[in-house]
């Protein structure tokens, strides 16, 4: 080896080290840059209506400090008050697609896919506790730089919304609970039913029953909802169902002090009248509206009527 070549060797090593360091920095900043891009785009024009065909392609993503990538759909007035919509069990952001257009003129709407649902990450972790969903929502709000949104939760989403309101009272304004009930834990009925799937996805008969409604619902919407829920991995169904029967929130309900509206359909077989009476006792300051002849999915059966009631409450 000549002296001239030997002198070049440390320089070559330094270049290699710097290259690896820059690559590592690039990977480390990729998540931050992605989230910053989401925040920079807050002032962009947003749709006020999205077709069922285009819904999945309208989803954006954000990386949360809870360790998942969350998908969401944004609609409405970029300068409007923020409104976060949380869907029900095995549904996804599409679950709000029929009602959101009636709210879009007044609100900046964020419709999320919960962990394990839709196109968000589905980590294999045994169960998804409701408190973990609430932590994901808190992280989403921070990453998106959302200040004190109103929150609407449907079914499982209403359990998440209750938990969020107790755990993060300074991060929200008003609360709407649709087709809700007290979160008492210990009910393993759904989990036992899901165990019967084994390593298979639920069959068409199960999905038809899972998405049955006492009143007509937009058929195109329902076909997408069934297909997207049915293709969730079997382990994911188990984790969702197991987590929903795990939590007991009732000892802490006196800490829920957000202005609250409870919405209930009289034909709701999952959250019956007795559960509504129990819920009203736990949240005695809540307003309550019942919809005669409607079932568990009010926002699908009568989206315009429900939206009008929600608007009146949120805009008081």
Q: How far apart are CA 112 and CA 84, in angstroms?
A: 8
In the structure encoding, which two tokens stand for residue 267, read together? Answer: 């034909």
Is 117 a known active-site residue?
Answer: no
| Residue 285: active-site member | no
Tokens 């609407």 sit on residue: 152
Catalytic residue among 155, 179, 181, 247: 155
From 175, 147, 152, 169, select the one nearest 79 (Cα to Cα): 147
Q: Are 104 and 48 contacting, i.e. CB atoms less than 8 angstroms apart? A: yes
The Cα–Cα gap between 227 and 223 comes to 6
Contact 300, 221 (CB under 8 A): yes
Contact (Cβ atoms closer than 8 angstroms) between residue 51 and residue 224: no
DSSP character for 222? H
Residue with tokens 């690559």: 23
Alpha helix stretches (DSSP H) within 85-233? 130-143, 156-167, 189-195, 204-210, 219-230
Residues involved in catalysis: 155, 296
């Amino acid at each position: 080896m000549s002296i001239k070549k030997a002198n070049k060797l440390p320089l070559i090593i330094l270049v290699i080290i710097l290259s690896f360091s820059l690559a590592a920095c690039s990977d480390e900043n990729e998540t931050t840059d992605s989230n910053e891009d989401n925040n920079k785009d807050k002032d962009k024009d947003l749709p006020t209506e999205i077709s069922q065909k285009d819904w999945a392609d309208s989803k954006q993503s954000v990386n949360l400090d809870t360790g998942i990538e969350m998908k969401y759909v944004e609609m409405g007035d970029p300068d409007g008050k923020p409104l976060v919509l949380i869907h029900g069990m095995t549904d996804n952001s599409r679950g709000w697609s029929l009602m959101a257009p009636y709210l879009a003129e007044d609100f900046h709407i964020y419709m999320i896919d919960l962990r394990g649902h839709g196109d968000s990450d589905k980590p294999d972790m045994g169960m998804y506790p409701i408190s973990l969903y609430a932590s994901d929502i808190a992280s989403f709000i921070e990453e998106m730089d959302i200040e004190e949104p109103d929150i609407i939760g449907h079914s499982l989403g209403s359990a998440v919304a209750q938990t969020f309101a107790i755990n993060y009272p300074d991060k929200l304004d008003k609360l709407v609970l649709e087709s809700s009930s007290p979160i008492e834990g210990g009910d393993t009925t759904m989990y036992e039913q899901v165990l019967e799937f084994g390593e298979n996805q639920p069959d068409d008969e199960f999905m038809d029953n899972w998405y049955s409604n006492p009143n007509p619902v937009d058929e195109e919407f329902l076909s997408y909802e069934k297909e997207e829920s049915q293709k969730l991995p079997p382990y994911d169904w188990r984790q969702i169902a197991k987590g929903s029967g795990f939590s007991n929130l009732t000892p802490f309900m006196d800490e829920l002090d957000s202005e609250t509206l409870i919405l209930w359909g009289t034909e709701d077989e999952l959250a019956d009248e007795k559960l509504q009476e129990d819920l009203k006792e736990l949240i005695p300051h809540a307003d309550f509206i019942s919809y005669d002849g409607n079932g568990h999915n009010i926002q699908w059966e009568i989206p315009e009527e429900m939206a009008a009631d929600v608007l009146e409450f949120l805009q008081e």
